Structure 1
Amino acid sequence: MHTQARKNKLLNLFKLQQYIRDFFLSEEFLDVLTPPMVENPGMETHIHPFRVHSARDKKNLDKYLHTSPEFHMKELLSEGFEKVFTISYCFRDEPNSTHHRAQFLMLEWYRTESFYTDIMSDVENLVKYCAQRFSKENPLIKNTLKNFTPIRMTIQELFLQELGIDILKYLDKDDLSTLIRTKFKNVPVPSEKEHHLLSWDDYYFLLFLNEVEPRLKNIPFILLYEFPHHLSALSTIKENEPRVCERFEVYCHGVELCNCFNELTDLAIQKQRFSEQAALKKELYDYSLPTPNEFYSTLDKGLPKASGIALGVERLLMAITQEENPFYF
């Protein structure tokens, strides 16, 4: 990379980190740090961690680099911290691209005694604040600031608008598979002989990534919420509509920016979900992760009602400055 271009990229990245900190400190959040080397890096089925290897002892350790600081952030909530945020590097074993890196900056923040709609407002205000700070120095950004007017839409509304289908009527794996094979023939689904190898989530993402996400590229800022309950992960189920869970994602020009949960605090339900995710990871990828005992201890101790979010810092930089490849490392 040319020296001046590299310097400009670093300068923008460092400025963005400062703007983020200024925003959260003005909102009376506490800036915290969590350990990057952990006993369990995260339980998501399709996210792959790096295991720590000792060069001195020439053996693998029972430690991993975290894929998210989530578990330790929630430990802070259980200790009585109320409004916290962190900016730190996270690590995921996936190929590099313009939108992904094995090592990337993650911003996470949490509010106790708050519903996830409060985090929705945080995201909108944060993006607007950072864009305004950049626009004072860069006229080009000032001209695009209006693009950050947020649109809010449920997943059900999105599928109805873009594909003309009510996704909540296809919550059975067989029904969704049949829909895709008959109506969306361009979606690259495996043969019917391999149907048993796929989950509902797999079919959903095949449909979303091939037919829905490309249509988001023309939308500067859209907040999608109330995902089908299969995608609940660490979020709560909506009380008066059990077909959906209380989580949201933000997309800027088709690139996912962040992922928010209204946090699940029930230990028994969490153990059940983690068990299902672990079994699927073993079946699909032939490896297992340690039981997240420290996180279970956090939930057993008592996690207050809370909402939290993870946001890719480099992706936010890309959205605001239109930097094509915002990653330094």
Structure 2
Amino acid sequence: MCSEQMERRMEKLSALRAQGAQVYPEKFSTTHQLHEAAALEDGTEDVRTAGRITAIRNFSKLTFITISEVQGTLQLLLKKQEIGEELFDQFHQSVDIGDFLGVSGKMYSTKTGEKTLRIVSYEFLGKALRPLPEKWHGLNDVELRYRQRYLDTIMTKETQNRLLARSQMTRSIRRFFEGEQFIEVETPILQHTSSGALAKPFKTFHNALDTELNLRIAPETYLKRLIVGGFTKIFEVAKCFRNEGISPQHLQEFTMVEGYAAYWNYEDTMKLMRQMVLYVLEETFGTTTITLQGQSIDFSEEWEIVSFRDLILKNTEIDIDLYPDVKELLQETRRRKIDLKSDDLETMGRGNFIDLLYKKTSRSLMIKPTFLIQHPIDLSPLARANDEDPTLTDRFQLVVNGAEIINAYSELVDPVEQRSRLEEQASLKSSGDAEAMEMDKDYLTAMEYGMPPISGWGFGIDRLLMVLTDSETIKDCVYFPLTKKL
């Protein structure tokens, strides 16, 4: 059926060219975008706008046409007595749904109150050779929506709104940090080591340098190098890559916002992150109250603060402080018949094991915004140890709707302690822990030139949007999610 329609469209294309028409013209000057035109007063003349045809309703001497783009739609009225018989007939002989049309005319409202442009003249702006899906709203093939995201954005209002919200969210994040006097910077994607997070990297090869490199898993250590270099308040909107498992909350390629402030601690950052989330909600959605899993939550209310130990103890009855040895902790989870569903339990370091325990038993229960604090030190190789209890770190995560959306801590700035922790991570990596951190000698050298007190934070734009729009999967929150090659 599709091939037959394509043949008919090709015939129309050839007919237009035979008539001397410019089928794919260079440009069309507009006075308004579609959503702007739809807001004009009745009687406004000389309105020029353009869009893709998404609906045509034919009557004997008039035709209603809908043209669309991602920010809006507009109804058009094509009348034979106003446009002339030749142009009226030419439209019906040459134009299909999916084609692009440029129009000029006068605004009015129909009897039902719909803003409509009465066409005085039109120009053909591009032939679509493939027909659009007829019933896209009921499409059950989710994989096809991801593979052909351009069709999804043409036909699905929910997708349009979500991706527009993503762009607005990114703008508001930048505005917020710039308003707080942070400087936006850029750091390398190609790196010799995979430092800055506990994750498995993607590897690539640099032909000119004849060396293997990693795609960055986080911009952290390079941003901290800039703090060494004299910057005091910085942030980056950074593409990052982690070669880890697929889940509704994880992407292998994602956009992270990460930043650092000299002379701050994690409690200062906690206040900043709350202010940022409230600002982003207002700027993106016009409210601080959103619905998550059917529950209306006002983010302007007080956020709960809970320790890592207390959360796990509450949900598993396991006191992680009683098990400094990871093998004993593994035995205790098995004794309590807690299935962590992982093949790597025997080789995991204690930090990664505790993190997995928390994710499998506790995280999904946290719906309202909650600050999770006091992480075990072996889970945070780059965080500062707590002064009162050196087995814990001065760190927090913001968890909302079962997802970690912000990670922050007071940074470790002692180069001797940092070397010791990275050596321990390197040992874990050589023992089979694929997500343990590599030794980063250049970063240690930078630290040895001296670092001030620092607090840093990071969050994924994709996951933040997923949480705040109550989306089922993070794939819905990126423009072109990666799919398996056909």
Shift of 1:293: 2.7
SS state at 1:153 partner: strand
Shift of 1:120: 0.8
SS state at 1:41 partner: coil
SS state at 1:104 partner: strand
Partner of 1:26: 179
The letter of the residue matching 1:75 is: R
Partner of 2:357: 207
Shift of 1:291: 4.4
Shift of 1:70: 0.7
The letter of the residue matching 1:49 is: P
Q: Does the 8 Å CA contact 2:261/2:455 hold for their aligned counterparts?
A: yes
Shift of 1:19: 0.5
- 1:8-31 Cα offsets, whole Å, 9 max, x none, are 333221111100011111111111
- 2:305 aligned residue (140, 152, 156): 152
Q: Does the 8 Å CA contact 2:215/2:240 hold for their aligned counterparts?
A: yes
The answer as to 2:15 corresponding to 1:15 is no
**Normalised by the size of structure 1, how large is the TM-score?**
0.86
1:214-233 matches, within 5 Å, as 214-216=364-366, 219-233=367-381
Cα distance in 2 for partners of 1:190, 1:262 equals 31
Q: Which has the higher contact order (CA 8 A, sep 6+)?
A: 1
Partner of 2:272: 122
Partner of 2:468: 320
- 2:449 aligned residue (301, 305, 312): 301
Shift of 1:196: 6.0
The letter of the residue matching 2:202 is: F
Shift of 1:204: 1.9
Query: Relative to structure 1, is the Cα distance of residues 98 and 290 closer, same or farther in structure 2, using a 3 angstrom cutoff?
Result: closer
Partner of 1:162: 315
Cα distance in 1 for partners of 2:229, 2:208 equals 37
SS state at 2:477 partner: coil
The answer as to 2:197 corresponding to 1:49 is no
- 2:248 aligned residue (69, 81, 98): 98
Shift of 1:147: 4.4
The answer as to 2:338 corresponding to 1:186 is yes
Partner of 2:257: 107
Q: Does the 8 Å CA contact 2:260/2:457 hold for their aligned counterparts?
A: yes
Question: Going by fraction, where is helix more abundant, 1 or 2?
Answer: 1
Q: Does the 8 Å CA contact 1:228/1:244 hold for their aligned counterparts?
A: yes
The answer as to 2:79 corresponding to 1:79 is no
RMSD across aligned C-alpha pairs, in angstroms? 3.0
- 1:174-209 Cα offsets, whole Å, 9 max, x none, are 442342232x21324789xx9864432354234322
Shift of 1:140: 6.2
Q: Does the 8 Å CA contact 1:248/1:261 hold for their aligned counterparts?
A: yes
Query: Relative to structure 1, is the Cα distance of residues 51 and 148 closer, same or farther in structure 2, using a 3 angstrom cutoff?
Result: farther
Cα distance in 1 for partners of 2:433, 2:191 equals 21
Cα distance in 1 for partners of 2:225, 2:305 equals 31
Q: Which structure 1 residue ranges, 5 or more long, are not aligned?
A: none
1:269-288 matches, within 5 Å, as 269-284=417-432
Q: Which structure 2 residue ranges, 5 or more long, are not aligned?
A: 1-144, 146-151, 481-486
Shift of 1:152: 1.1
The answer as to 2:188 corresponding to 1:35 is yes
The letter of the residue matching 1:84 is: I
Q: Does the 8 Å CA contact 1:168/1:243 hold for their aligned counterparts?
A: no
* Runs of 4+ with >6 A deviation: 137-143, 286-290
Identity of aligned residues (%): 27
SS state at 2:278 partner: helix
Q: Does the 8 Å CA contact 2:305/2:370 hold for their aligned counterparts?
A: yes
The structure whose Rg is larger is 2
Cα distance in 2 for partners of 1:138, 1:273 equals 40
Shift of 1:138: 11
Cα distance in 2 for partners of 1:22, 1:196 equals 46
Cα distance in 2 for partners of 1:284, 1:10 equals 39
